[in-house]
């Protein structure tokens, strides 16, 4: 995956900006296809390419997702990326999945949409709660994605481990395709909503959210204050009942040594044209500019300069 990023970036850059010569190309790390990060990255790139001014272009890159993205910034494979609030904190501390890399010097650029853990089955499945996944075949997203982090957090709280399931490490699109064709019994996907992979699956099948057993969602929220309870309304995916799910807010991050003027231009392009971003991307409608002033890590100096000017 990582070895191919630059090749993908170059090809995508040609499609986005043609043969125009640019002074600075920013690769934005997103996630696998079928989730919410990649289309969000596309929409942000389009707004930045249109409004950030000459000399700055942006291209979305398919990656392993929120866990991998801070590491890709540390290795220089991407210049800017989307991740979860809790992972951004771990990255700055060199903790959890970032122990090998050590502390990563990143700053927040903007608060984005929340991601929720889609725990879904076919509507007629006998799987009702997370505990019912024992012994089942479960799509858990790419190995470097945020879904697996939630699995490793939630399963021990339920007296389980990933060894209690037969995991399928595939993209969200493939995971929901496997669900509808019967290859797996359940699919887990950490994504904003509506997620493209889920929408595609519901076009040919009725799905249902897996529920938390009584008291278990509260237990999970108490165990990690970065997580929140979110309700996914029935009209999002046409489910018979709303989904009461666990979620986390997302943010755009950049290395603190990135030129402050560049980051300020990117931040300005996003928030001065937020209506345009919302028109292109449904998840962007959940962005609240005020949340960028209350993030889990400090703002990048360029982003701070933008918000200080408001």
For 165-172, what is the mean pLDDT? 95
Residue with more model confidence, 4 or 64: 64
Percentage of the chain exceeding pLDDT 70 = 93
Strands (E), the chain: 24-29, 56-61, 80-84, 106-122, 137-139, 166-168, 186-191, 207-209, 227-232, 243-255
Spatial contact of 87 and 66, defined as CB atoms under 8 Å apart: yes
Predicted confidence at residue 23, as pLDDT, reads 60
Closest CA to 230 of 219, 241, 215, 245: 245
In this prediction the pTM is 0.74
Closest CA to 149 of 230, 264, 65: 65
pLDDT per residue over 70-91, tens digit each? 999 999 999 999 999 989 999 9
Could you give phi then psi for residue 277, rounded to 5 degrees? -65, -40
Predicted confidence at residue 39, as pLDDT, reads 94
Predicted confidence at residue 217, as pLDDT, reads 97
Closest CA to 139 of 122, 123, 158: 122
204 CB-near residues (< 8 Å, 6+ apart): 180
The SS3 call for residue 186 is strand
- CA 84 – CA 224 distance, rounded (Å): 13
Average confidence score pLDDT of the chain: 91
pLDDT per residue over 79-123, tens digit each? 999 999 989 999 999 998 899 989 999 999 999 998 899 999 999
CA atoms within 13 A on the CB side of 82: 34
Strands (E), 104-242: 106-122, 137-139, 166-168, 186-191, 207-209, 227-232
For 193-210, what is the mean pLDDT? 94
Predicted confidence at residue 8, as pLDDT, reads 41
Percentage of the chain exceeding pLDDT 90 = 76
Q: Is the dihedral of CA 86, 227, 36, 112 positive or negative?
A: negative
Closest CA to 119 of 244, 229, 284, 251: 244
């Amino acid at each position: 995956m990582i070895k191919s990023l630059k090749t993908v970036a170059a090809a995508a850059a040609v499609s986005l900006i043609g043969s125009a010569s640019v002074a600075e190309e920013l690769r934005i790390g997103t996630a696998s296809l079928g989730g919410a990060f990649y289309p969000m990255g596309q929409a942000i790139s389009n707004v930045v390419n249109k409004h950030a001014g000459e000399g700055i272009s942006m291209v979305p890159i398919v990656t392993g997702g929120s866990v991998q993205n801070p590491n890709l910034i540390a290795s220089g494979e991407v210049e800017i990326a989307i991740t979860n609030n809790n992972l951004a904190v771990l990255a700055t501390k060199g903790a959890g999945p970032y122990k090998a890399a050590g502390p990563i010097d990143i700053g927040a650029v903007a608060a984005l949409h929340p991601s929720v853990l889609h725990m879904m089955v076919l509507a007629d499945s006998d799987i009702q709660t997370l505990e019912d996944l024992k012994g089942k075949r479960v799509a858990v997203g790419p190995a470097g994605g945020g879904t697996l982090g939630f699995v490793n957090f939630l399963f021990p709280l339920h007296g389980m481990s990933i060894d209690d399931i037969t995991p399928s490490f595939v993209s969200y699109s493939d995971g929901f395709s496997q669900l509808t064709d019967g290859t797996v019994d359940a699919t887990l996907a950490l994504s904003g909503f509506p997620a493209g992979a889920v929408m595609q699956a519901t076009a040919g099948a009725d799905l249902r959210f897996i529920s938390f057993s009584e008291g278990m969602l509260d237990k999970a929220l108490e165990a990690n204050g970065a997580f929140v309870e979110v309700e996914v309304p029935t009209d999002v995916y046409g489910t018979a009942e709303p989904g009461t799910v666990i979620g986390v807010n997302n943010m755009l991050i950049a290395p603190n040594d990135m030129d402050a003027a560049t980051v300020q231009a990117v931040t300005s392009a996003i928030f001065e044209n937020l209506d345009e971003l919302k028109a292109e991307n449904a998840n962007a409608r959940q962005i609240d500019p005020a949340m960028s002033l209350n993030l889990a890590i400090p703002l990048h100096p360029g982003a701070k300069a933008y918000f200080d000017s408001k």
